[in-house]
Amino acid sequence: MADLPAPAPAVNPETKPFWDATTEGRLVLRRCTGCQGVIWYPRAICPDCWSTGTEWFDASGRGTVYSYTVNHKGEGPYRDAGPYVLAYVELDEGPRIMTNILTDDFAAVEIGRGVEVAFSPTTDGAAALPRFRLR
Amino acid sequence: MSVRGRAQIAGAYEHPERKIPGKSVAQVHAEVALGALADAGLSMGDVDGYFCAGDAPGFGPLSMAEYLGLDNLSYLDSTETGGSSYVIHVGHAAAAIAAGKCRVALITLAGLPRTQGLDRGRGGSPESGFESPFGPTTVSMYALAARRHMYEYGTTSAQLAEIKVAASHHASFNPNALLPREVTVAEVLDSPMISDPLRRLDCCVITDGGGALVVVAPEVARDLPRRTVTVLGHGEAPKHAMNGHVDLTFTGAKWSGPRAFEEAGVTVADIDYASIYDSFTITVLETIEDLGFCKKGDGGHFVSDGALWAPGGALPFNTDGGGLCNNHPSSRGGMTKVIEAVRQLRGEAHPQVQVPDCEIALAHGTGGSLATRMGSATLILGRED
């Protein structure tokens, strides 16, 4: 399939470790050391119990499709990308995260389908976008 | 403290144009402000409360107060929840009036996206790094919700199309509507796919324009020449991604609705007319379920039985043609939702779609996305007798 655009994410001190890990091919998540809940998107405070004791851990990189759309009308960096799959993937660790499904076979994408992470280095090389392939 | 009966909508004005080259955004704010105040029988000098949202240029209420020459302001509110802002503003205005903070509240909306293009900037938000690189668009965010709703409840594209068909029937009576032609389910299904499963005709229009409302204290309303409309209840609620556990099948209406119904002391069975935010067909479907007009998941069947058609349907909706066919000024539809509800309660909707003896109306706003990072607002209004 044609390569999807890989625009650089906005990175701040709170999220830099997440993006640094992606350049090493690792998907990391933030976990609360108080309630043990997984936090998404990564942040320094647990939005469930409001503890500021949080830590990174390596995720499996596997999940299932929660919802998806084939978008025919991209904007910005995606304006000329052609149709692409925007999706929420439910990671095995729980969080539903926004991502793309990398496939030319749009008909094969369905809710509940198993996927695994595949990183796309961003144009500036400072991060890699966690996208997913069908498995 | 309840706001029930503590404030009246005295003026409502929708800008008649849908494409406005050669004017500034502030200028259109001023035009709709003058329109609503004239409708109420009041003037700029009477205004002591001013409400606007993110569409207001510059420094929001400060820039606009200066531009409009509002010199007697004792109360400001620039609550920004996207398209639902103005529904919230009515509730906040009623609360401010009930608390004695102001007596004549002016709410304005204006924008020029048809002329100047859409502006989508939220780059500095904490979530943006984890979403925008993947290419979400407004339509695709709603499409994700539609896809999941279809998966869980068997909702079909043809059922969603029925919502557009009903709106287009109503728009056919509105000479100002951008899309005044009635469409069929087949035409909706044949329109180009934008973000699967949403097609072009599942989407609202993009229009320049705006609208304004004037909310006043009952003692002010008593001296005005026109019929005013009573604020009976208001509810608002944000809904967000819930720490990675986003559920795309319901909206914040599940929470804003009961708050408004409780304050108003009425139930869904009492609603004669409803303005339901309709950025996309799926927006209407999820909202009417969440407000309790039908069971969760039954929205597809509900809308397929002609329920949304005025004047005779079970739930006559968006009799101006709504955002789907008439007007969605500045890509923010909450203002026009309230305006058409006021028209229905005054008996001033088009005769072909006026609900007979319309005594209680609901106006619902949806801001931001659908079912995630969104602001829901429900307003219940009553005819003053």
For A75-126, the pLDDT digits (tens) are 999 999 999 999 999 999 999 999 999 999 999 999 999 999 999 999 889 9
Decide: B245 and A47 in contact? Cβ < 8 Å.
no
| Predicted pLDDT at B83 | 96
Decide: B84 and B334 in contact? Cβ < 8 Å.
yes
| Predicted pLDDT at B384 | 73
| Predicted pLDDT at A2 | 56
| Predicted pLDDT at B128 | 87
Decide: B316 and B276 in contact? Cβ < 8 Å.
no
Closest chain B C-alpha to A116 CA, distance in angstroms: 16
- For an interface test with A, give the residue of B118, B130, B286, B369 to mutate (most A CBs within 10 A): B130
Q: Alpha carbon of A126 to those of A8, A55, A58, B18, B158: distances in Å?
A: 8, 22, 19, 44, 45
- For an interface test with B, give the residue of A15, A54, A71, A103 to mutate (most B CBs within 10 A): A71
Which whole number is the average pLDDT over B304-327?
Answer: 97
- With an 8 Å Cβ cutoff, are B129 and A10 in contact? yes
- With an 8 Å Cβ cutoff, are A97 and B128 in contact? no
- In angstroms, the CA B66 to CA B356 distance is 43
Domain A16-134 has CATH 3.40.50.300: no
Question: In chain A, what is the straight-line distance between the N-terminal and C-terminal CA atoms, in Å?
Answer: 16
pLDDT of B123 higher than 80: no
For chain A, the structural domain boundaries read: 16-134
pLDDT of B301 higher than 70: yes
Average pLDDT score over chain B: 96
User: What percent of chain B shows pLDDT beyond 90?
Assistant: 94
Handedness of CA B261, B166, B359, B299 (dihedral sign): negative
Strand order in the sheet with B75-77: B75-77, B49-51, B104-111, B209-216, B8-14, B229-239, B374-383, B360-368, B273-276
Whether omega before A41 lies within 30 degrees of 0, making that bond cis, reads yes
> What tokens does A101 get?
């499904």
Q: Name the residue of chain A whose CA is nearest to B246's CA.
A: A96
pLDDT of B122 higher than 60: no
- In angstroms, the CA A30 to CA A27 distance is 10
- In angstroms, the CA B14 to CA B321 distance is 13
Compute φ and ψ for B345, nearest 5 degrees.
Answer: -70, -25
Instruction: Report residue B104 CA to chain centroid gap.
Output: 21
Q: Hey, is the C-beta of A67 within 8 angstroms of any chain B C-beta?
A: yes
Which whole number is the average pLDDT over B139-152?
Answer: 98
Selection from B122, B124, B92 nearest residue B105 by Cα: B92
- With an 8 Å Cβ cutoff, are B245 and A68 in contact? no
Task: Give the tens place of pLDDT for each residue, B226-283.
Answer: 999 999 999 999 999 999 999 999 999 999 999 999 999 999 999 999 999 999 999 9
For chain B, domains (ranges, CATH) are 8-117+204-383 (3.40.47.10)
- For an interface test with B, give the residue of A4, A35, A85, A86 to mutate (most B CBs within 10 A): A86
Closest chain A C-alpha to B196 CA, distance in angstroms: 5
pLDDT of B120 higher than 70: no
Strand-pair category, A114-121 with B8-14: unpaired
